[in-house]
A and B are shown apart, each in its own frame.
Chain A
Amino acid sequence: MAQDHILTVPAKAKTSPLAKFPAEVRDAHARFLLTRDADALDTVVLAIVRDHQPPAVRAHTPAVPADSARLMEDLGFDSLALAEIVFFIEDLYQVSVSNDDLMTIPTVGALRAFVRNKIALAPLPSHAS
């Protein structure tokens, strides 16, 4: 497909989405990229969930929420925030999540499982960073 109409991404745009996350999260991300360690991926996903959580609800939520915790009812996400989490993961790992997929992840456990299936088991694109 002809690509010459494509706009150029501004040069300043590409800092890592995880740049402001704790060092252990960035380390886990780097470890996953090297080793495909699914536990390391879990660490990153849970940090992303926590980062996107409304602060008022986060203050009353365990640092590692239970797999049964519901993203909207228990963790305070609205549908846009949920879409933001998914976009963050899409952007980080260069994958696409459909609306149908989105409807299958109501809980933290479902999200962890979904990401493992979608990313850890899929071939890693060379440009994910």
Chain B
Amino acid sequence: MSRSVLITGLGFVTSIGNDAATVSANLREGRHGMAVHPLCDNPNIAVKVVAPVRDFAVDSPSWRDWTWPERYELPRETLRSLAPHGVYAFCAFEQALADAGLIRADLGDGATGLFCASAGSALMLHHNLAQAHANQFERGNPMGVVSSIAGTLNFNLAAHYGITGAVAGFVSACASSSHAVGYAVDEIRLGRQERMIIVGAEELNADTLLPFAPMRALSVNPDPASASRPFDSARDGFVGTGGSVVLILEEASLARRRGAAAYAEIVGWGQASDGHSVATSHPDGAGLRNAMQRALRDAGVSPAQIDYVNAHATSTPIGDRAEAVALRSVFTEAGARPVVSSTKGLTGHGLSMAGAMEAAFCALALREGWMPGNPHLVHADNSCDGLNLPRETLSVAPSLVLNNSSGFGGSNVCHVLRRA
């Protein structure tokens, strides 16, 4: 491919910080964002620990009740049709634009596109439908649909920022924003767009998170310091988080002309499905193994060239084991031993947002020269034999990294990023 894709802007609203500097410091120092924070007033709920976003209050279904940091000017005309996670996304978007040295007026020439990923807002959907049922569908909020269904991010952000290029949303559960990144890379490589903006976002509330409890997917460990411990033999489920992460991708010559500094280059991606189960990973991680191999092939690199893998591992017994098996198949069997960590041990699992968030973490690590560790790992699961799972962050600059994501139905997406 003659056209290459650079990451030139990042924005963060996460459980470990609401700006790049704080996120980077917390990743390097291994500080987590978990807290004991019950999501509903029912002491019988076993899930006690989540990873909340600080400095925002978006628990209510009414935008009139919401608060966010004052430095963001969020106009009422935009606010009225947002979901709660749209507020996170708007603030992360503003950060990313400023970081890339762009303004709103730069986005409307048709050469900029927008790919988004969220599950929509279960809270808003529930509220709006409950209202509609209560009055037998005689009346309802005119913004009820666009503020709640999957796609709410792209509807709102494209309109607010006047984006006239390719605009779409991606729905593959926890691989959603990784799909958005991958297809955005293709939009630029194929010459269809010069710039793509990727938005991943999710809410953290009872409506979004607690339906995962009946699947036994959530950690019931009440200790914030150990509830999320990917690859550990005592892991018992994931810890939920919300927020938003935004990446700005630009074709390299455009970025050079603008004098934009690049975090990293995305040099390839790949995807494959398990074709196995609606909700659990293939026991051998077959789809993820194929996705990793396709991403490496697309990037033109060998397993031995990868310095760091940001694993999808969410801290669930089945998913982490499957990923460990897949990693051993791709790397250990090829004689390669990259550093492997799951930053979900610090952030919690951001569902649709996870892939974009972790691609952004990889970009920070490539630009700043470090590799995050696994600070909550005490006894690695025996499925991890042969994997290099350091506890501490390594102050070693990676050249090439792999970012893994997996979602329901066995969707697996991997990106390869290179130091710019």
- CB within 8 Å of B: which residues of A? 1, 5-13, 15, 17, 19-20, 54-55, 80-81, 83-84, 87, 90-91, 96-97
Contacts and interface: CB of A to CB of B under 8 A. Distances in A.
Interface stretch (B8-16, B121-129, B359-367): B121-129
Contact of A84 (B62, B80, B134, B207): B80
26 contacts: A1-B136, A5-B133, A6-B130, A6-B134, A7-B126, A7-B130, A9-B127, A9-B131, A10-B123, A10-B127, A12-B60, A13-B60, A13-B62, A13-B127, A13-B130, A15-B65, A17-B62, A20-B65, A55-B75, A84-B141, A84-B142, A87-B139, A87-B141, A91-B139, A96-B138, A97-B139
Contacts of B60: 12-13, 15
B140 interface: yes
Contacts of A90: 139
A19 B130 contact: no
Contacts of B141: 84, 87
B80 A19 contact: no
A123 to B, nearest CB: 17
Given A6-B134, A7-B133, A15 B142 contact: no
A54 B62 CA distance: 18
Interface in B132-170: 133-136, 138-143
Contacts of A97: 139
A100 to B, nearest CB: 14
Contacts of B133: 5-7
Interface in B192-216: 207
Nearest to A8: B130
B77 interface: yes
Contacts, number: 62
Contacts of A7: 126, 129-130, 133
A29 to B, nearest CB: 15
Contacts of A96: 135, 138-139
Given A6-B130, A9-B131, A13-B127, A83 B142 contact: yes
Q: Interface centre among B59, B139, B207, by most A CB within 10 Å?
A: B139
A13 B59 CA distance: 9
Q: Which 4 A-B pairs have the closest CB atoms?
A: A83-B142, A7-B130, A9-B130, A6-B133
Given A10-B61, A12-B59, A87-B140, 12 more contacts: A6-B130, A6-B133, A7-B126, A11-B41, A15-B62, A54-B76, A54-B77, A84-B143, A87-B142, A90-B139, A91-B131, A96-B135
Contacts of B41: 11
A15 B92 CA distance: 28
A19 to B, nearest CB: 7
Nearest to B60: A12
B49 to A, nearest CB: 21
B142 A10 contact: no
Contacts of A9: 127, 130-131, 134
B143 A80 contact: yes
A84 B140 CA distance: 9
Nearest to A88: B141
Contacts of A81: 77, 80
A55 B74 CA distance: 12
B64 A19 contact: yes
B133 to A, nearest CB: 4
A17 B62 CA distance: 9
Contact of B64 (A17, A55, A83): A17
Contacts of B62: 13, 15, 17
Contacts of B140: 87
Contacts of A19: 64-65
B162 to A, nearest CB: 16
A96 B133 CA distance: 14
B52 to A, nearest CB: 16
B130 A10 contact: yes
A17 B126 CA distance: 18
Nearest to A19: B64
A10 B65 CA distance: 15
Given A80-B143, A83-B142, A20 B127 contact: no
Nearest to A85: B142
A70 B29 CA distance: 59
Interface string B52-79: 0000000111101100000000011100
A12 B62 CA distance: 10
A22 to B, nearest CB: 14
B207 to A, nearest CB: 8
A90 B64 CA distance: 17
A83 B134 CA distance: 20
Nearest to B135: A96
B125 to A, nearest CB: 10
Contact of A80 (B126, B127, B136, B142): B142
A35 B75 CA distance: 36
